[in-house]
Amino acid sequence: MRTAITDMFGIKHPIIQGGMHYVGFAELAAAVSNAGGLGIITGLTQRTPELLAKEIAKCQDMTDQPFGVNLTFLPAFTTPPYPEYIAAIRDGGIKIVETAGRSPEQYMPALKAAGIKVIHKCTSVRHSLKAERIGCDAVSVDGFECGGHPGEDDVPNMILLPRAADELKIPFVASGGMADARSLVAALAMGASGMNMGTRFIATKEAPVHDNVKQALVKATELDTRLIMRALRNTERVLDNAAVERLLEVEREKGASLKIADIHDVVAGVYPKVMIDGDMDAGAWSCGMVAGLIHDIPTVKELIDRIMEEAERLIRQRLLGFLDAPEQAALVA
């Protein structure tokens, strides 16, 4: 399948693996790229730029296909040395960067000077247009269904994607709620040039996370996520667990006076405990509503091949069938 995104990034299939904390290691990124998608290493999971450089080199040993690096600009307890991370990305020969969180505007000159194509993750049309204005090559449009930070507008993809198509001149991919061939075909129908999957890729054999995490996603339904930190205007969608319920109780008690310090222990330093140790009640961790569509743990190649084969069947048989069916012809006559 050829789209503006496959052409831009030199990939076979219009499927991108989004950056995910303590998930986007070389093993998963290489598996996605080898299967024809675009794998992404999560830059800030690596504690230093030097460690990121090593992870990039490791991934290059595992695949000869294009892959990228995610660099997220979010409010943090300590500000990462972003220029040094960008230098590691540049020196590693990476030509694709997924940015997220705050605007990457101040870092665009350095990224562009290195010949890097930038796809910025946005949760609104206005932010997507800003990304276009500052020189981003593409946008990942993130609907309210997504895991992680869905923004503050609460607009789902059935509205957000067509609105983005109406306004944007650069290509975009759909993110949030993406899990299978139906997701891809729907995204293409609404104007996207591909899709970005996060949560779905966690439930694959190559995802370097504890099996408890994968089993939790298979078990979960679309009703098992919660929104936290709304009062801080830093909303995050997470999988429900005992720690999240305690956090929500604190939020209810504090109301508008909530401070990040009130919930620090439940949101900071959680990912190693969950993703590596498999402690599912350690704290809040990002998960999309798409968990309700996850029923198995295939290899990355099995997942991507299945998506592309089923997408072709949906387009060629089901959708074209609506136009070619004798019943339709009779109705027209």
Instruction: Name the pTM for this structure.
Output: 0.95
Distance, in Å, from the CA atom of 247 to the CA atom of 260, rounded to the nearest integer, reads 11
Structure confidence at residue 332 (pLDDT):
46
Structure confidence at residue 333 (pLDDT):
46
DSSP run (H or E) holding 32: helix 26-34
Structure confidence at residue 213 (pLDDT):
98
The H-assigned helical ranges of 224-271 are: 242-254, 260-267, 271
Helices 260-267 and 242-254, interaxial angle, to 10°? 180
pLDDT tens per residue across all 333 residues of the chain? 999 999 999 999 999 999 999 999 999 999 999 999 999 999 999 999 999 999 999 999 999 999 999 999 976 667 899 999 999 999 999 999 999 999 999 999 999 999 999 999 999 999 999 999 999 999 999 999 999 999 999 999 999 999 999 999 999 999 999 999 999 999 999 999 999 999 999 999 999 999 999 999 999 999 999 999 999 999 999 999 999 999 999 999 999 999 999 999 999 999 999 999 999 999 999 999 999 999 999 999 999 999 999 999 999 999 999 998 666 555 544
* Residue whose C-alpha is closest to residue 25's, from 204, 205, 208: 208
Buried b (16+ CB within 10 A) or exposed e, 64-86: ebbbbbbbbbeeeeeebebeebb
Structure confidence at residue 77 (pLDDT):
64
